[in-house]
Structure 1
Amino acid sequence: MLLKLNPEHLLLIRTHAASTYPEECCGIILGYLANESKTVVEVIPTENAWSGETLEDNKRRRYAIAPEIMLKIQKEARDRSLHIIGIYHSHPDNPAIPSESDRIQAWQEYSYIIVSVPNGKAGELKSWHLDGDRQFQEEEIEIA
């Protein structure tokens, strides 16, 4: 699968990731689906609504988008003939590689952009999708 973005989308994701450090950021990606590609039209930053209780289970290591926000954006996208094609989030002080928690929460039809944020600065950015065995595979990113 190929994910097509423009430089402004990447800048928005990176800026959001750096601004929420040391917590994870998250957001929704709207666009169009084609044969073997997805084209990003809009990136929508959202609040990290994760509410874990323990140190290992907090916003520095997890993210969640509130269900009512997902539903609202899904309806707005449909009204514009767009689709939610993915989710993005950051990994503060960790690589842009999906965690087991990311895999468990993921939906097969979405792309998952992860940006690493070492020491508060947005770093490597990668996109992933789930295969038929529910394992993440890296997606090619094309910057248009």
Structure 2
Amino acid sequence: MQNAKVEIADTDAKIAACFPVMHELRPHLKDAAELVARVKRQHKEGFMLAYAADGNGVPAACIGFRRQERLVHGPLIYVDDLVTTATGRSRGYGALLLDWVEGIARHEGRKVVDLDSGTHRAEAHRFYFRQRYSISSFHFLKHIK
């Protein structure tokens, strides 16, 4: 990961280029067009998608996040998605993206970066611990039929 930089996916083409990466984390997404449509809808809620590119300019890792405010923490950044391609893991892309989002939080006076990680993702959990994140709560979910 030499000279990798973070870029915001702010066009349909950039969002679509993130599809192969995002599909590794979100396999229910059927194609790039669906990703583009979902990201554009979520933009209305403050969602942003950014990526770190490999040496060829191809996204190797993506981060989706939004600015929020909660009673418990005040202003924060919530990370919806963080994923690195299987071939790009352990090369520093994930840490680069988290550092970048933490820099935004620091610059904006936000004291917290918050994220959830599926209970089955032990490898991701080890990564978050190395990045000095801690488990602060359980996240509960109920599917409504």
Smaller-chain TM-score range? 0.3 to 0.5
TM-score by structure 1 length?
A: 0.34
Which structure is richer in relative contact order (CA contacts within 8 A, separation 6 or more)? Answer: 1
When you count strand as a share of all residues, which structure comes out higher?
Answer: 1
